[in-house]
Structure 1
């Protein structure tokens, strides 16, 4: 793509372009990392947002909450799942000093769904009580999957679990929550075509032992083909490339901890990483969409300034509802110091 694009520019303008950039989110973010890893001379700057780095792992692992529901034969209503999320936000929102409906420091949020078992909550116009089974399903989404020698990260506690992680027949307006309504376009083809290699495989009747076996198979057989998690970016560094990645901390599909873990591995594998690659966590942002917070929509311009003028991005700039936000370079966190949360200077990166 890069070679063809540069050739077209040269044919039309009789000169090569001064710079070439790539930007993408989710699968596009994954492509950006693949370019840096395998084609280090293709682009001068790469912006990789919410990258789907470990397809072979996070796709089957994301099925875990559904597997837990099926084993328990309990399918919580969306309003109960939302009540768990609301309680977690209430508990952990102020950890950064600013109560804004966002969990900015998820690693410091030790709230457990089991604390709510038996307590009352308001749901669909009536008072109900949190159940042990619903708490187990929510914890499966928050904690991720771990067992039989394999595992993967869960979603953060302010992510909307009813969007993808925990869906039932109630999500479609059916009052009878007796079965799940998982993303068949995502999970079924992966388990059938890649993990089980059986077009007739019944994902709905998979037991936990089979689930872990297929998760392990997926990781072992497809990591090298689709993983995009090679931390050795020295060739990209030598080529003079610059890369920015960011990941919404309220992502509902791809656990942001996976991207942070990849960046940590790059830091260990490559000297002077921040001279060419910087990662930012974006609190309150969903999967490639804004949420309680705004997207870093000026990130591409900041990448261009880094490539062309050597202006290193210490923060990414975002805005929502007229308020400007500075997103901190990992591992720093945005901390409220006052006096007014609507003023950029009221926050520092620490």
Structure 2
């Protein structure tokens, strides 16, 4: 299907380090664009079952590249089509990049965007000459729904497998490469994948399920154990919906500031960033209102302390599910998370029935999942389903876990094929727990062994960074992971002493391999050179 490039000895790596990064081949001529309109995509070019597809439009857009839109048709006539898009640059570098989605997907990602936590001072993949492609993962969002929060496609089994199991990823990849071959007269020399959140899970899915399909993968804040997290979100939805339990925005700010005041400086510098969350042992009971009753924005009631503690604690369910997962590790609200982005965490209003759009993202996600994936009844009150005691829904939960928990930690086939994986997570993520990614990384090391894991995987936790640089994070992460991945794939030169930039505060930090974290030593507090991992 493709060739993998050099992975030579240490001496060759040292020589390669002195060479400039180059494309694998000279840029090509402009793609054939108009001739792609109406092109049939044979079912035979897609390795998973479809009934073929067709290009619906192909034209040069004002930005100067050829945009190709196509539909891939389902096997089940009741299932939605997969809508995909390919951006074909005039000066192609003979590489391709697939983008992952977010939330429940349902829209095609912006092909002119950057990779997750990407560099602000470098061109995006399309501007670098990549042919970029993506899809809506096999369903179309209702425009009236909040972005990425329409789960109504969950009533169809093929649509669920396309989205949750990742079938649409391979279908999109195969069809897009077919279109790229038609446009340029040749296949890409290298193909990469980048995604965050749901897209981060999708990045791990392609490495797990199709180890030869992508040369390099960037997975950021991946929701890999999707079913496990959903059960925790359901439990937290119930906790926060109880009378008096929801901490409003003022109390969320109080909690955030209190955590920072207690834990900032444990890494050697007071800079509003908690670099080592494991060292932060803030006790929310220090904010208790007199007598435990709600006395306003300067304290937390007993019910609110219970809710905050529940969100930051592991959630374990007392039954078995087929994926083998037993818990979700909780969210790092007590380790420096930014309470100024409440939509991703608590929200601004308590969960209720019907679910308010001002409740937390995770609570709305749970509500959609219950209505369309679990019960397949849009009238179902999601607050009535208890993840601790699901009753008649246990079998359905267990069955969905085999589709939604993408927890295969054996990445050795991907490594043997020459694949390289960069894994990233913000330490203050409010929506996908970095503790969960820590868990997956440790599982991979346990299966492959530490030395073998080091040969194909790097995992970095970014202090102060939240979910997708949403809102006003304490640290707005920016790192050129794509160039690092190219050097690793092209030359066998693994990332070495990378530096991440905080674009909001004009400062840099060393990007430390997990479980290391940056500690301030001496010198300019805004310079990475003043820190050590």
Pick the TM interval, shorter chain: 0.7 to 0.9
Q: Look up the match of 2:523.
A: 339
Does the alignment pair 1:299 with 2:481?
yes
- Secondary structure of 2:477's counterpart equals coil
The equivalent position to 1:284 in structure 2, one of 464, 475, 478, is 464
- Secondary structure of 1:24's counterpart equals strand
The equivalent position to 1:231 in structure 2, one of 372, 387, 409, is 409
Structure 1 residues 12, 194: closer, same or farther in 2, change over 3 A? closer
The equivalent position to 2:260 in structure 1, one of 70, 89, 98, is 89
- TM-score, reference length from structure 2: 0.58
Looking at structure 2, the residues matched to 299 and 224 of structure 1 have their Cα atoms a distance apart, in angstroms, of 31
Q: Look up the match of 1:44.
A: 215
Looking at structure 2, the residues matched to 329 and 215 of structure 1 have their Cα atoms a distance apart, in angstroms, of 41
The equivalences for 1:106-117 within 5 A come to: 106-117=277-288
RMSD of aligned alpha carbons: 2.8
Please say which structure displays the higher CA radius of gyration: 2
Looking at structure 2, the residues matched to 203 and 6 of structure 1 have their Cα atoms a distance apart, in angstroms, of 41
The equivalent position to 1:152 in structure 2, one of 328, 332, 342, is 328
Q: Look up the match of 1:55.
A: 226
- Secondary structure of 2:529's counterpart equals helix
Structure 1 residues 240, 73: closer, same or farther in 2, change over 3 A? same
Q: Look up the match of 2:78.
A: none
Q: Look up the match of 1:274.
A: 454
Q: Look up the match of 1:176.
A: none
- TM-score, reference length from structure 1: 0.86
State whether residues 163 and 252 of structure 1, in contact with CA within 8 Å, keep that contact through their aligned partners in structure 2. Answer: no
The structure in which a higher percent of residues are helix is 1
- Paired residues, what number? 337
Structure 1 residues 75, 7: closer, same or farther in 2, change over 3 A? closer
Looking at structure 1, the residues matched to 255 and 433 of structure 2 have their Cα atoms a distance apart, in angstroms, of 18
Q: Look up the match of 1:123.
A: none
The C-alpha deviation readout for 1:277-311, integer Å capped at 9, x for no partner, is: 11111111111116211323311111111111222
> C-alpha displacement at 1:72, in angstroms?
4.8
Structure 1 residues 113, 214: closer, same or farther in 2, change over 3 A? farther
> C-alpha displacement at 1:39, in angstroms?
0.7
Looking at structure 1, the residues matched to 344 and 437 of structure 2 have their Cα atoms a distance apart, in angstroms, of 19
The equivalences for 1:1-350 within 5 A come to: 1-118=172-289, 128-149=298-319, 150-156=326-332, 157=334, 158-161=336-339, 162-169=342-349, 181-183=359-361, 185-206=364-385, 209-210=388-389, 220-271=398-449, 272-289=452-469, 291-319=473-501, 320=503, 321-349=505-533
> C-alpha displacement at 1:225, in angstroms?
0.9
> C-alpha displacement at 1:2, in angstroms?
3.1
Looking at structure 1, the residues matched to 479 and 384 of structure 2 have their Cα atoms a distance apart, in angstroms, of 43
Q: Could you say which structure has the greater relative contact order, defined with CA pairs below 8 angstroms and 6 or more residues apart? A: 1
> C-alpha displacement at 1:316, in angstroms?
3.9
State whether residues 45 and 242 of structure 1, in contact with CA within 8 Å, keep that contact through their aligned partners in structure 2. Answer: yes
- Secondary structure of 1:280's counterpart equals strand
State whether residues 67 and 208 of structure 1, in contact with CA within 8 Å, keep that contact through their aligned partners in structure 2. Answer: no
Structure 1 residues 39, 207: closer, same or farther in 2, change over 3 A? closer
The C-alpha deviation readout for 1:314-341, integer Å capped at 9, x for no partner, is: 3443212332222111121111111221
Question: Quick check: 159-168 or 304-313, which moved more?
Answer: 159-168
Structure 1 residues 209, 50: closer, same or farther in 2, change over 3 A? closer
Provide structure 1 residue ranges, at least 5 long, that are not aligned to the other structure: 120-125, 172-179
Looking at structure 2, the residues matched to 223 and 44 of structure 1 have their Cα atoms a distance apart, in angstroms, of 28
State whether residues 191 and 214 of structure 1, in contact with CA within 8 Å, keep that contact through their aligned partners in structure 2. Answer: no
Looking at structure 1, the residues matched to 214 and 309 of structure 2 have their Cα atoms a distance apart, in angstroms, of 41
Structure 1 residues 14, 147: closer, same or farther in 2, change over 3 A? closer
Looking at structure 2, the residues matched to 108 and 84 of structure 1 have their Cα atoms a distance apart, in angstroms, of 17
- Secondary structure of 2:289's counterpart equals coil
State whether residues 507 and 527 of structure 2, in contact with CA within 8 Å, keep that contact through their aligned partners in structure 1. Answer: yes
Structure 1 residues 215, 245: closer, same or farther in 2, change over 3 A? farther
Provide structure 2 residue ranges, at least 5 long, that are not aligned to the other structure: 1-171, 291-295, 320-325, 352-357
Structure 1 residues 214, 18: closer, same or farther in 2, change over 3 A? farther
The C-alpha deviation readout for 1:181-237, integer Å capped at 9, x for no partner, is: 354641212123333444332123445754x65896565222221212110111101
Structure 1 residues 199, 294: closer, same or farther in 2, change over 3 A? closer
> C-alpha displacement at 1:102, in angstroms?
1.5
Looking at structure 1, the residues matched to 391 and 498 of structure 2 have their Cα atoms a distance apart, in angstroms, of 41
Structure 1 residues 241, 95: closer, same or farther in 2, change over 3 A? same
